[in-house]
Structures are given as C-alpha cells and as structure tokens.
Structure 1
C-alpha cells in the first residue's frame, strides 16, 4: 500500500472524533486526501476503540496564552514597556492593548518589510500548503523569529505580555492594505475536518491565539471586525488586539476580518501562537 498509520494521522483522527465529526465523514475526507481504504479503516478502527473516552484523550486545554488580568490592571509591565489595557471581552476572549508598539518600532518594521512584500497567501488546509485567496487582498511577508532588532524586541515583549513561550509563536507577519484591500471574515485555527490539517499541525500543533498590531493607521476604514459579537477595533497605530480560541470550533466566536480600507494605507503585524514549539 505504501502508506502507514503515522502519529500525525492518529492525532488528526482523535481530534476529529473529539470535535464531534462522524466516522463516515472522516472516512470520506481521508479517501479524498488519497489515503488507501485499508489504511483509513485501520486508523479509524484503532482510534474509534477509544472513542468513548475521546474527551479524555483530548481534554480542553488547561493553559492558554493571555495577559494576567486578575487584578484588572490599567497597565502591564512587559519589562521594557508599560502596555495599556484598553478593552476586554470574555466570550470571545478579546483584549485591546494600547501603546504596545512604539513609533520607532512601527517605522522599523515597515521599512524592513517593504522590500519583501508580495501578494498575501493563506494556509491551504486541503493540502497543507499555501495559496492565493480571493478573500484576502493585502500584500505581506514573514520575518523569521528574531530576524532583526525590532522583531526580536517585539517578540520578547509579546511572550512576556501573553505569558506564552517565544518559541511557540510563528514568525511575525507584516501586511499592507491599500485602498480597497480587505480580509473577509475567517477563523485563524486550522479546520480539523480538512485533509491537509495533519500536515500543518506537524510544525507546532494547532493555533490557539492571534495578536494583530497596527503599525500605520489608514485615513478611513480598515477596522478589525468580529461579526459574531458586533465588535470593531479601530486600527490605531501602536495598539493591538489579542484574541484566543481554546478549541478549533466556531463556538469560540472568533470569526473576524479586516474591513476594507477606504482611504490611505493600513499596515499591521500579526503574531499567531501555537500550542507547542513552532518549527
């Protein structure tokens, strides 16, 4: 058959069953992804034997990234900067930060990114690769972790602020939205039902949180929107919006998008956090 039941395949099947997907739907997804029927059946049989305890196999995450808000602080000391807490929401878990990124850092990140901009791609969960998406009309690029002084400084600040290991973060992505550019509402986690998800999860597990930071504000438009809860976050330079999702499910109410820029340019930096080290 030339195929074997890998740990990633087992992890994917367990995650689907725990998320409530049926065995027939998993069988169809695996077939569409090119798995041999006998391998698919063996994997399903192996994991289905534990289906009654699926919730115990993949329990809700006990730890999640996020700031310490237990004392309702106005400011959080990140070691090199006092970051303001401007707004919070419990469900979805959303926190808006002020004075998160300095003007110097905003300019430095934009200048370094400008030379490497290209049409933004999205992760393709059918295959595990990347592809153009008509819903996303920005230009962007990725920095490697610690690539320059601005990136390294900001990544350490984020790790301290959100109490999540620096190594669990993807590389910082910089995006430029010109007039008319937008990103239609979407989820940042990787859909467990898609056949390409096991490939994506090999690099660091599931995404669990997002931090969007505004480096340059447009003249009009460009808000970050959360349609399920009627929330809009204005793209004020130096501020950021953080939100987390404890499971890859629409029930987290983390559907969000970037509204069209109506005038000027919007630049943002995005940091996605994974459940384990991102490689």
Structure 2
C-alpha cells in the first residue's frame, strides 16, 4: 500500500523541527511508526525546504545552525533549491522560461533545459578561450591550489559580473534558486579535449583537512553546484553520479544542479566528468556558498 505525504504529516515535521529535534531523530521516529524510509526522507526534505524558503525566521534560525557546523559538521544546513513543490514543467527565470527535465530527491539533482541561449554559450566560450590554463583543484591540506591527475581539463575563472553574459546568467540563477547572487563563486569555464575527464569527487571542502578553515573564511562551505553545458561533444563527456547510477548528457544550453547540506559522503553527491570520447566539451560551473563569497 502506498503512503501519501499529507498536510498533517507536513505540519508534524515542522513542529518537530521547530522544537529542536534533529532530522535524524525525526526520521527514526517516522520509520519506527511504520513509514517507508524513502517516503519519510522525501517528506522531510521537501517539507523543511519549503518551510525555510517561506519562513524568514526559520531561515535565520537555520543559518545559526549553519554557523555551528564548524563545531559539528554532521549538522545539515539550508541549501538552494528550485520551487518544484507543484511539479512545474517550466520555471520563470525572469528573462526566459527554463525547462525542468529531471528531478531527483536523494541526492537532490535537477536537470534544466534552456537555461542558456546558444548566443550566451558561444559568448562564454569565446571570452574564456584566451585565458585557459591547466585546471587546478583546491588543496584542502593548505588552502591553496594544485594540479591533480584526476582532473585533465583546461579552465579559467570569471569574476562575478565580469561580462554582460556572465552577469545575466548569474542573475537568472539567483532568481531560480532564491539564493543571494553574492553567495556564488565566479563562473569557472572548462574545456575538455578527447580523453580528458574529471574523476568522481565531491565539491564540498573536507572538514577534516587542515586547510579547510582558511578556505571557509571566504564564504563558508559550498552547498550546491550548477554545471552548465556550453556545447555538445560528439561522444562521451556526461556528468556522472556513481552512487545513484545517473549520467546527465551534455546538451548545449542545459544544466545539472545538485546540492549537499553537509560535507559528508552521506549526501550521495559523488560526481565526475566522464571522459570525452570524440569532439570536445565546454562547461561553465557555478558553486554556491553558505554566505557571501569574497
């Protein structure tokens, strides 16, 4: 027999959260009462996400919890998300309608269509091309950067609002996700030649590494990633999520979004850029932080 997420259940979840019970305890209580675990997780995530978005006081309280994450990284924090509670086919980005292609709740993955126009994709590629260099990864042991054999692309960073196209797309993303524009890092544009890849990894900063506190001073943890496809390789180059057996095809103008409310593998956000087999791949990545990124 299927279990339905009722308004009464949603009210009960909000009451438990407002009383200070941790999500793990609420989930355990639901499962003990006979709820299917997957249904319970979905009910909690969707209910609390909408509650935080619509209740400024609750959001402020959740931000206080986020500050405590430096002492207890197992505590989840608010993350960006789209307004998908009514299962819309499209979302209003202000200057264009964006298609909702695929949604997944655990992990939270949303594939978007028509996020960027063909002209915007071409402009980003041409602006980035002269500044490409071997891609680096964040070195969490020191807080610096390093070459990594797992990442064999070339790339560059735009400052926020650096070009008209960058500014326009950044505003579009902020509106869609209801997340402050200033909480985003600048776009990173990457180019993958045949054979290039980025092996599976996490985007959050490992709290156990000594360099992480230095990195977090610039805006707190990363809490979400948006990968935008600027062209279409002939074969290969998809974005993979090994924990859930998902691969997103690189389609020009489309994007894949995923969020992670804590810096732990339990978020199931292990992901990678599959090797390009034929042609080349161009993407622009936007990482979103807890606070203003400076």
User: TM-score, with normalisation over the residues of structure 2?
Assistant: 0.76
What pairs with 1:225-240 in structure 2 (closer than 5 Å)? Answer: 225-240=240-255
Structure ranking higher on relative contact order (CA contacts 8 Å, 6+ apart)? 1
1:94 aligned partner = 109
Contact 1:15 1:192 in 2 (8 A): no
What pairs with 1:94-133 in structure 2 (closer than 5 Å)? Answer: 94-133=109-148
Unaligned runs of 5+ in 1: 1-13, 21-58
In structure 2, which of residues 213, 218, 241 is the aligned counterpart of residue 203 of structure 1? 218
Does structure 1 residue 259 correspond to structure 2 residue 274? yes
Aligned length: 230
SS of alignment partner, residue 131 of structure 2: coil
CA distance in 2, matches of 1:107, 1:72: 31
Contact 1:224 1:258 in 2 (8 A): yes
CA distance in 2, matches of 1:84, 1:15: 34
Does structure 1 residue 162 correspond to structure 2 residue 216? no
Deviation, 1:16, is: 6.3
CA distance in 2, matches of 1:162, 1:112: 26
Given the superposition, is the C-alpha separation of residues 78 and 196 from structure 1 closer, same or farther in structure 2, using an over 3 Å criterion? same
SS of alignment partner, residue 216 of structure 1: coil
SS of alignment partner, residue 218 of structure 1: coil
Deviation, 1:18, is: 1.9
Contact 1:174 1:267 in 2 (8 A): yes
CA distance in 1, matches of 2:180, 2:293: 10
When the two chains are superposed, the root-mean-square deviation of aligned CA atoms in Å is 1.7
1:273 aligned partner = 288
In structure 2, which of residues 183, 186, 194 is the aligned counterpart of residue 179 of structure 1? 194
SS of alignment partner, residue 228 of structure 1: helix
In structure 1, which of residues 64, 69, 92 is the aligned counterpart of residue 79 of structure 2? 64
Contact 1:16 1:193 in 2 (8 A): no
Does structure 1 residue 242 correspond to structure 2 residue 257? yes
SS of alignment partner, residue 208 of structure 1: strand
Does structure 1 residue 18 correspond to structure 2 residue 34? no
SS of alignment partner, residue 160 of structure 1: helix
Contact 1:122 1:131 in 2 (8 A): yes
More helix per residue: 2
CA distance in 2, matches of 1:167, 1:79: 18
CA distance in 1, matches of 2:69, 2:159: 29
SS of alignment partner, residue 243 of structure 2: coil
Unaligned runs of 5+ in 2: 1-67
1:194 aligned partner = 209
Deviation, 1:226, is: 0.2
User: TM-score, with normalisation over the residues of structure 1?
Assistant: 0.80
Contact 1:126 1:195 in 2 (8 A): yes
SS of alignment partner, residue 18 of structure 1: coil
Contact 1:85 1:96 in 2 (8 A): yes
